[in-house]
Amino acid sequence: MAEAHLVREARGIGPEAFEAFLGTREEPEWLRQARQEAWQILRETPKPGPDDEAWRRTDIRALSIEDLVTVMVGDGVTPPEEMRQIVERQDDLAGGLLLFDGQPALRWVDERLERRGLIFTDLLTAVREHQDQVAPYLDQVVRPGDGFFAAMNAAFWRNGIFLYVPRDLEIPLPLRAVIGLQGAPTDFSRILIVVEPGAQVTFIDERLADDAMGAAFHNGIVEIHLKENARLTYIALQNWGRYMWNFTHERASVDRDSTLDWVVVGMGAGVTKTFLEVDLVGRGATAYMSGVFFFDGQQHADYDTEQDHIAPHTKSDLLYKVALKDRARSVWQGMIRAHPGAQKTDAYQANRNLILSPHARADSIPGLEIMANDLRCTHGATVGQINEEELFYLMSRGLSRAVATRLIVEGFFAPVLDRIPVPDIRRQVDAIIHRKLGVPSEEEF
């Protein structure tokens, strides 16, 4: 048992580190092989720099890959009560899961659903106990070749979350997970979601760390397989501490007549670069991508989105709203791609930015790539400041400038927040917004 308390460390992504890493794993051969292949790709992929188109606006030269802790074994520490509370057994959830400093720290699932085949567990347990449901899907939607950080995660991921909803099972209440960090300097986790035909589920994932944690590093992958006639509502809250590096590759494959409702909330981290993509691979597939982002201080966040219409008669609708304060900076780069044969594509993308201080800056770069001829693709991007007439109107009713600003910011986000079907999350997001604005929260009306 003494071994369990051992913390072995290795840094970087070189052969010795990778060898040491594999030495800490007891995993089936197929997974070992997948890691080997990913690591080979990683070796051949240079760290992105300012010359790479996708990385032109996000400078990561200060990030030293050699110094990243890639190998870490330990039994962790007790997670803080606040993290436990979010996912503890409660009436309005169907299941909860906490990964803390890379270790599964809490898990429960409604037994009736579990008996009907629902799997909601940490990824290592899933590899051990549900290999047939994991192996065919891992590394299939986000591939190691998708980029430097995708390859790094595929080689070095330590644990993650696995959600599997069997055919025709409708989960009435949300499942909720927290990936929390406190002592681990790095996190290589991934989320794998498989929704079988006819199934329906709502999944909420929160990535959580305190500002006090200081510098840390997250490299995550999210893979979503949504099969025919299925429905997934996925709400992702990024609440990392403000000194973290945050890199993710996230992609959903949406099959025939399925609907993905994907809400991303970004409030934390120091430097973020995220790729969020949907592949509409089956006729009648629909994807809604909504985003609420509020950054302040020196936060920098760069979101790269892709709406890939591969099958005909597919629909996508993206609305990302960003508010920026102080010296915060955001980048949104969006691409709608209608592949050859994707007739009757109906695609929309909009990015709205609200700048709350003269030193904040937003770059908004929409894009279309059309290889079919019978479709409808539209986009809109705006960058604006608080309207003085609106402020005057609100202040004339006795609202201070601060409260008037709070109302305008809330109103700005409302159309997206209204898409979040869980009131609890809505309140939580409102509270973060108020904190960033420096005004107290009020009860909901």
Partner 1 sequence: MEDALIIRDLHVRVEGKPVLRGVDLTVRKGEIHAMMGPNGSGKTTLAYVLMGHPAYSVDQGEVLWKGQNILELPPDERAHLGLFLAFQYPVAVPGVTVANFLRAALNERRKRLNPEDKGIPIPEFRKLLREKLALLGLEDSFAARYVNDGFSGGEKKRLEILQMAVLQPEMAILDETDSGLDIDGVRTVAEGINRIFNPNMGILLITHYQRILNYIKPHFVHVMYNGRVVASGGPELALELEEKGYEWLREQFAEQPTS
Residues that bind partner 1 (CB under 8 A): 387-390, 392-401, 403-404, 407-408, 410-415, 442-443, 445
Tell the smallest beta-carbon distance from residue 407 to partner 1 (Å). 5
Residue 232 beta carbon to partner 1: minimum distance, rounded to whole angstroms: 26
- The 3-state DSSP class for residue 37 equals helix
Tell the smallest beta-carbon distance from residue 387 to partner 1 (Å).
Answer: 8
Are the C-beta atoms of residues 327 and 297 closer than 8 Å to each other?
Answer: yes
Nearer to partner 1, 368 or 399 (CB): 399
Q: Minimum distance from CB of 134 to partner 1 (Å)?
A: 42
- Residue 435 Cβ vs partner 1, minimum distance, rounded to whole Å: 18
- Round to whole Å and give the CA distance between 429 and 179: 17
Nearer to partner 1, 325 or 352 (CB): 352
Specify the residue, 30 or 392, whose C-beta has the smaller distance to partner 1.
Answer: 392
Measure the CA–CA gap between 236 and 305, rounded to whole angstroms.
15
Task: Give the chain's radius of gyration (CA, Å).
Answer: 21
CA distance 137 to 224: 9
Choose between 51 and 443: whose C-beta lies nearer to partner 1.
443
74 CB-contact burial (10 Å; exposed 0-12 / middle 13-18 / buried 19+): middle
How far apart, in whole angstroms, are the C-alpha atoms of residue 241 and residue 297?
12
Q: CB-wise, 162 or 413, nearer to partner 1?
A: 413
DSSP 249-312: EEEEEE-TT-EEEEEEEE---SEEEEEEEEEE-STT-EEEEEEEEEE-TT-EEEEEEEEEE-SS
CB of 209 to partner 1, least distance (A): 30
Distances (CA, A) of 104 to 78, 101, 122, 239, 267: 11, 8, 6, 19, 24
* Cα 285 from chain centre: 21
* Closer by beta carbon to partner 1, 38 or else 394: 394
The set of residues, in sequence order, having a beta carbon less than 8 Å from that of 207 and lying 6+ positions away, is 178, 179, 180, 218, 220, 236, 237, 238, 239, 240, 268
CB 29, min distance to partner 1, A? 54
Residue type at 353? N
Q: Closest Cα partner for 76 from 156, 190, 177, 187?
A: 187
Could you tell me where the DSSP H helices lie in 76-187?
Answer: 81-87, 111-115, 123-129, 131-134, 148-156
CA 385 to chain centre: 27
List residues bridging with 190 in a β-sheet. Answer: 160, 221
Q: How far is the CB of 377 from partner 1 (least distance, A)?
A: 25
Task: Considering the complex, state which of residue 383 and residue 395 has its C-beta at the smaller distance from partner 1.
Answer: 395
Q: Which of residues 55 and 413 has its CB atom nearest to partner 1 in the complex? A: 413
Q: Which is nearer to partner 1, 376 or 427 (CB)?
A: 427
Tokens of 363: 């770059």
Closest distance to partner 1 from the beta carbon of 421 (Å):
18
Please say whether the beta carbons of 275 and 304 come within 8 A.
yes
CB of 432 to partner 1, least distance (A): 17
Identify which of residues 278 and 354 has a Cβ nearer to partner 1 in the complex: 354
Measured from the CB atom, the residue of 214 and 411 that comes closer to partner 1 is: 411
Torsion of CA 205, 181, 327, 364, to 10 degrees: -30
To the nearest whole angstrom, how small is the minimum distance from the Cβ of residue 397 to partner 1? 4
**CA 284 and chain centroid, separation:** 25
